[in-house]
Every structure is written in structure tokens, then in C-alpha cells.
Structure 1
């Protein structure tokens, strides 16, 4: 991983770590960014170790390779390396193989990303290194697996599961948070995601502008941080909608923030799965998502798909339909679809132990 912050993959790993039998299986983390991660203290409290290696973009690929090789050369205690860095698996796993790590897992968490021509060349090079150097291929969806491993490749789907009971709709929590944020009488449209190109915030602002023109009490609640946050804040000012937007920052309490929302909107340009859409359904929220969100995320009747080439007005029309939606528990649907973290943690625990 790059850093253990409040992201989708990082949160999945922490959910697994909390629920796996840590007397039998321990997770350690090799990260490539120096700042302390949001989850670092908890990792240490659970018995894990965090190792930091300066990123390739900072020290150059040669020194980065030497640092990774040096790490595995001096840490022969590991039975398994599980790489969650998509195409970079083709970089890490050959080094792990060279140093005698017997179980080497490449795990895909993204599908059909909109990379530049140059980035596609580089990532294509690393992807070609995976087959000869991994022992197992995992993916969060069929689209994610096909993107990283190829359409004809065999891989195992590992659901991006959640702690389902945390997300149960709670009227008390909803009321408390709506009062805290001053949105008690508002129609709250929510989004959770990093401020980057993938999450398509510019389009989301256009959709919200359409809604606000018809529903003055509407409010856009944005959770997350990222390199494009300032740009999106500026766009909101230009559209004259900034007074109707709350930029809530990052949070470890996503399960609570989902309670205060009325509709969850997710217009991503691409997704490996979109774990936050699973979480939103678990919270009983109607979800309006783009047609790039894989079918594996459609596990309840709460999801409505919209094409990205439909107009912001069309998206707005659909969202407004849910202004007075009555929420109910979808816990059984989530568990039946295989997205409960207890079952996934047990599966991976058995997988790891089978090679020890």
C-alpha cells in the first residue's frame, strides 16, 4: 500500500484485520509514503508492524527496487505477500519470488481506469510480469480481474465486504448528526470519495446545481480529501452553489455519516467495485450510480444506474424522486450476497493457513 489512510481498500484491509483470528494470522504492512497513516496506531495496537520505503517517484525506480529487495532479503519470516497495488503487483511479486516468499497474491481493486497513453504503457509492462510471478490472482469484481489479469485469465473474486451491523439504519444517529451539521430540514445528497478525476466531482456539481435550482432546501454533503479538492471548491463558487455544500473532510465514521444523507450519488468514471456503494445500501440509502460501477455492487433494489452521457438534469430528475424515501434495513440482502466481513475474513484466514 502507499499509506494506510481512510480509503476504500485501506478500510477493507482494516475490516479484515479486525475480524481475522490474529493468533493464527498476522498482517504487517509495507507502505511507500512517509506521513503517518490514519490507521497506523490501530494497526500497532492489533499487533501489526508497519514498514516504510520511500516511493519510486521520490528516489527513482532503481533505488526503490533495491529497497524492496533489501526488505525481503532481511525479512525471511513472511509466508505470504498479498499485493493490493494493482499493476504494481508486477513489480513487487517478482522480488518476493526471488527472495523465497512461497505465496504471492496479486489483488485487483480497479477496472478500466482512464490512464494516459504513457501510464498505460508503463502499467501494461508491469501487468505482463504478474502471471509468471504470482501464485494466486484475486479481484473485487469480474471487471477488475479482467482489467489486471486479462479476459481469459482465471482469478478468484474476493468480495469487498463490510461490517454490516455498523451500517444498520439508526434514526437516533441520523437525528444527532443532522443537528450537528445544521441540516435537519434539508434534502441531503451525499457522496464519499477521494477528490480525484475518477470520482467525477465536476459532473456531480453540475447535477447538484440542477437539483438546487428546483429544491432550494437541497444540500450536497461531500466526504473525502484529495488533490482536486481546492479545484472543486472553486468550481462550486463559480456555480454559486458553495453555500449549499458541506466539505466534511475525511472520516473514520463513514457508517454514521451515511445515516444523515437522504440519497447517495456515485458518478464515478470507473470503479473496481465501489465499496462505498455497498456501505450505502447497507445503511438503507437509495443509490444513484454511474453505469461504470460493476454489477457486483448491485446487491439490493436500492441501486439505480444512470449513464454518464445522460444530462445533469436527467440525473437530477432521478435523484429528486427520493426526497421523501422511507429507509429500511437491507442487512439480509447484504449478508446473502456475501458482503459480510465475518465470512470473508474467515475465508482468507483459511486461505493463508492452508500454506503454512
Structure 2
């Protein structure tokens, strides 16, 4: 391996947590030490292409692997890998897909193949057939890799198997945030502007949720919490930020449940960092998560957060800003937790910044950790371990 390391990241597509993770690593990397190219199955926005190019990398859009164009896909991928002269490929894929690209990379002379786990569960995982399929997929995923990487221990256990965590054989790479703007205070004028835009009165409690509108994030349960808060006479507005395939269904459900006056559906926003700062408390009631970047963002921004007990405790930055509640608890317990956390004393920005940086959850610190991994200076890391 030469003095400058070249890596090809393979992502399912642009948009979502995986591409955000890769994007932050690229933005934090020292381009004199590491060059990262990205290959995925969807187009990229111009802004992302510019960021990759700025760090000396390239982006490639791959054809989806189908029987009728399998030869074309193989030729396309081999050309990318051979011309790229990569030291490693980093696959944000699993099971059969990971095996496919691992074999192709091997035929091009690539010896180092990193597989990265991002999810910690899937819908229907309680079924017997799923458990059998999961075990087979774990075997396939691990067999495709020389190195295992992951966003959390829960994700590692789901994708690779618990023994790989117990034997300390996984490199856990933080889902980092570009922290520049999170620690700055929002002005009173900006707060007033948002209150006017979302029709929020001065005295109302502001609850927030940021996430994809799909099964995983558990929106119907949050609507039940909102309805209970309303029944208890709490004067609040709940901001739901995001889009997804269940968006229209959930908006309709909220109306049916009589929540039209106290919920706001904001869709996709580019000002989420600022929106965190007008919230009194954030809620994440997910059925499962790998490691939700949103909880790192809320702690950086100074917003207390109530999360489900299915979310890894590695998300807690040691700032007493996270409260875990069981999904088996009733909505009154969740309501109590939300009201409690909305009143906590939030640590000052300097303390928040210090705790998040020393756990490598900022763009620069995570990229430095990743560079050490690529250089084989460190091969395992557990989230929460303080770095020098």
C-alpha cells in the first residue's frame, strides 16, 4: 500500500443515512492521505459530486444488477476498479450483494474488502423464516469481507453475529455530523420567524421529530403520544420533519386522530440544524435503528431527546440529554418523559462540543479515526471510547 490510500465506497444510492455517512467522511478526510471514490445505483446531486471532486475523488453511477444485463454490469464495475487502482473497496451492502461485489473486486486484484453494517433490525424479524434467512445472510456478509465495519454494536450483531462483537473484531465508525453550525445559538429574530411560519404561539411547547416516514420510525405511536398530551391539556406543537412512502397515509392518520391543530408536517427541510434549536424536546420512538445520527445532532444543537429503548445507548454523548423509554411503556410514561426532558438544563455549547469530539462524532474526528483504520493503525474501535 502506497503513501496515499485509494478507496472505492459502494453505496446503495444517494439520499439517506448511508450517503450522509460517506459524505461526512469525505468532507473530513485529508485528501493528501486518502482519496475516496463513490459508486452507487442512483444519480448524485451536483453539490455531492463537487464535494467528492474537491477531495480528489470521482463518482460513478452503476447499472442495477439484473440477469439481462449482468455482463454489462460486470464489465462496468471491473473497468472502474481496475482503472482506480484501489487499495480497498468499502461496501455499504450486505448478503448476496456484498458477495457479488467482493468476488468481482477479487478478480481485479483487490485484497482488502470492507463491509459496513448500518441497520440493526428489519420489519418481520420475529418470524421463524426471517431468523433462518438472517443467519444465512450473516454468513454470506462475513464471508465477503476481510474487514468488518459498523455504525453500532446493535448493527454489528444484526449483520455479522454477536460473536464478532464479543470478540472485538469490528471497527465501529461513528455516524458523524458536520458540527460547525450546531453549537451556535439561534437569534430571537429567527425564532420569531419560525414561530410565525409554523403558527406557534409564544407559550407553546415545541416537540420535534426528524425522520423518514416509514414503519421503522413508528409515527403512529408518536401520534398516540400527541393525542394523550392533548387530552392532558398540554399546550404544544409537534413538528414532523421528513418525507417517505407513508407520508400521505400518516398525515391522514393524524387528521383522523384529531391532531390537526397541534402537529405540523414540514416535509424535507434544508434548515434542520436551526429547527432543532427552536424545539424544547425531540422524540425518536423507532422500532429499530443502527445508530441514528439525528440524536447526535440534537445533542450538539442543545435539544434534549426522548428515545426508545431499542436504540443503542452508544448514541448518548454523556451530556444527560437523552432519556430512554421502553416501547412497551404506555403513552403516559412517554408523555411524562417528554415533559421532564423539555425542562432540563442544557449543557453549554463548549461542553457539548467537547463530549461529541472526544467520542469522534464530528466530521473531522471521525475521518481521522477512519484514516487510522485504512492505514491499519487501528483495526477495532467501540463507540464511546474516548480518542486522543
- Whole-angstrom distance in 2 between the partners of 1:140 and 1:175: 37
Query: Among 11, 20, 25, which residue is 2:20 paired with?
Result: 11
- Which position in structure 1 is the counterpart of 2:227? 209
- Distance, in Å, in 2 between the alignment partners of 1:46 and 1:252 is 23
Q: CA RMSD in A?
A: 2.6
Structure 2 residue corresponding to 1:304, chosen from 302, 305, 323 = 323
Residue of structure 2 in register with 1:30 after alignment: 39
Distance 2:263 2:102 in 1: 43
Instruction: Report the number of matched residues.
Output: 350
Correspondence 1:96 to 2:118: no
Contact kept, 8 Å, 2:99 with 2:143, in 1: the verdict is no
Asked whether 1:82 is paired with 2:83, we answer no
Does the 8 Å contact 2:323/2:341 carry over to 1? no
Answer yes or no: is 1:177 the counterpart of 2:194.
Answer: yes
Q: TM-score if structure 1 supplies the norm length?
A: 0.88
1:351 match:
373
2:312 alignment counterpart: 294
Q: 1:216: Cα distance to partner?
A: 5.3
Task: Say whether 1:69 aligns with 2:74.
Answer: yes
- 1:169 and 1:328 in contact (8 A); partners too: no
In structure 2, the CA distance between the partners of 1:30 and 1:296, relative to structure 1 (3 Å rule), is: same
CA distance in 2: counterparts of 1:72 and 1:123, whole angstroms: 27
Residues 138-192 of structure 1 show CA distances to partners (whole Å, capped at 9, x for unaligned) of 1111111111111112211112222334211513154553444333523111111
Distance 1:182 1:64, change over 3 A: farther
| 1:263 aligned to which of 281, 287, 290 | 281
Question: What do residues 221-270 of structure 1 show as CA deviations (whole Å, max 9, x unaligned)?
Answer: 11111111111111111101123222122233332221121111000001
On the 8 A contact 2:291/2:315 being kept in 1, the answer is: yes
1:164 lines up with 2:183 in the alignment? no
5 Å-filtered alignment, 1:317-328, equals 317-328=336-347
Change (3 A) 1:211 1:29: same
Q: Please give the alpha-carbon distance, in whole angstroms, between the structure 2 residues aligned to 1:313 and 1:169.
A: 34
5+ residue gaps, structure 1: none
Residue of 187, 197, 218 corresponding to 2:236: 218
CA distance in 2, matches of 1:38, 1:203: 36
Alignment partner, residue 340 of structure 1: 362
Contact 2:78–2:104 (Cα < 8 Å) also in 1: no
Q: Given the superposition, is the C-alpha separation of residues 63 and 350 from structure 1 closer, same or farther in structure 2, using an over 3 Å criterion?
A: farther
Separation in 1, partners of 2:172, 2:132: 26
Superposed CA deviations along residues 84-137 of structure 1, whole A, max 9, x for unmatched, are 134443342232223222221101111132346566665554432233331210
Q: Secondary structure at the match of 2:368?
A: helix
Query: Does structure 1 residue 140 correspond to structure 2 residue 151?
Result: yes
Q: What whole-Å deviation, never above 9, does each CA across 1:41-72 have from its counterpart, x for those lacking one?
A: 5445555433223435xxx3x34754542233
Distance 2:195 2:51 in 1: 28
Question: For residue 316 of structure 1, what is the aligned residue in structure 2?
Answer: 335
**Distance across 1 between alignment mates of 2:354 and 2:69:** 46
1:279-334 Cα distance to aligned partner (Å, 9 max, x none): 11111111110001101112221111100011122211221224444433322222
